[in-house]
Amino acid sequence: MEIVTKKRMMLFSGTAHPGLAGEISQKLGVPLSSMKIWRFASGEIYVRAEESVRGCDVFVIQTHADPVNESLMEQLIMLDAMKRASAKRITAVVPYYGYSRQDKKGLAREPISAKLVADLLTTAGAQRVVSVDLHSGQIQGYFDFPFDHLTALPLLSDYLKNELMLHGDDDLVVVAPDAGRIKTAEKLREALHADLAFLYKRRSRREAHKIDEMAVVGEVEGRPCVLVDDMIDTAGTVAKGAAALAAQGAGPIYAAATHPVLSGKAVQLLEEAPIKEVVVTNTVPIPDEKQFSKLRVLSIAPIIASALRAVFEDTSVSEIFHGENQL
């Protein structure tokens, strides 16, 4: 007996960021499939796909946004449901990968939580993962199946290029907030045809998010600067970096990042910092109380949608970025 089958793409969204999932759905021209998601009185999560997924190419979209543990657990349960419902291939779409900063041991008796998340996604049923701008590229190696690492740099660079040209800002300097982000800054520098500088940052080894010292390495006096990072969490790095650049006589200062986590007093720090504009993407939702006048949010949906189409059609994802997505 011979049967000719057709591939079918199905998109499912968790509750962490339905707006982004809706945008991805619109870009692909594929409607979001219906899924029942609710909490028991005890807080336990229940999910059920309301249509058959048997033999389908399923994409489960869930960013690990605050509350990160709720978002992660919800995605794991959704993946398990897809696996047990006989989906042909299951792809976890994780715009922001939770626990990505805990990718190695810095002190004795610390966990490697990013690896734990990888193990959980694998055990739950994921057969492929799509994510955007990991804090550390080595996280890809935690998986024994394909991992598509997307980057928002083309989106950020196109916006910044147009913004800088609009205001006549040239002689630009791209600034890495620390040594670990120099490779990212170098790629943005190439896209913007700019010079490169970096900040020497010594963090406290005992107190989280505390920076003991910061200094500018590079020529920034009188020149527009772009501070680039993968995420803005408490905004301490960006705010202190902008202050250090301003103290060196830098021109207008921009901040660019993929993930606007914006924890604690981040909004207040960014509003008070000598920054002209903060450019981010919508990999995580930004509630109304975290919106502020300097913030410019770009949609990552076209990039993710292009990658998902390539995965579904079994074509190259890296060609979307001309091979420049391996950071």
What is the set of domains in the chain, with CATH numbers?
9-151+302-321 (3.40.50.2020), 153-298 (3.40.50.2020)
Indicate if 201 belongs to the active site.
Answer: yes
| pLDDT tens-digit series, residues 215-231 | 888 899 999 999 999 99
| pLDDT tens-digit series, residues 33-45 | 999 999 999 999 9
| pLDDT tens-digit series, residues 79-103 | 999 999 999 999 999 999 999 999 9
* pTM for the predicted model, two decimal places: 0.92
Could you say which DSSP state residue 265 is in?
T
| pLDDT tens-digit series, residues 178-195 | 877 899 999 999 999 899
pLDDT of residue 41: 96
pLDDT of residue 160: 93
Pair of tokens at residue 230: 């993968």
pLDDT of residue 325: 61
Degrees to nearest 5, angle at CA 317 with 312 and 321: 145
pLDDT of residue 321: 79
The active-site residue, picked from 115, 201, 276, 294, is: 201
Give dist(CA 148, CA 316) in Å, integer: 10
Question: What are the distances in angstroms from CA 319 to CA 94, 95, 140, 191, 290?
Answer: 20, 19, 18, 17, 35
Give dist(CA 305, CA 301) in Å, integer: 6
Pair of tokens at residue 307: 């990658």
Region 9-30: mean pLDDT is 98
> 150 - beta bridge partners?
132
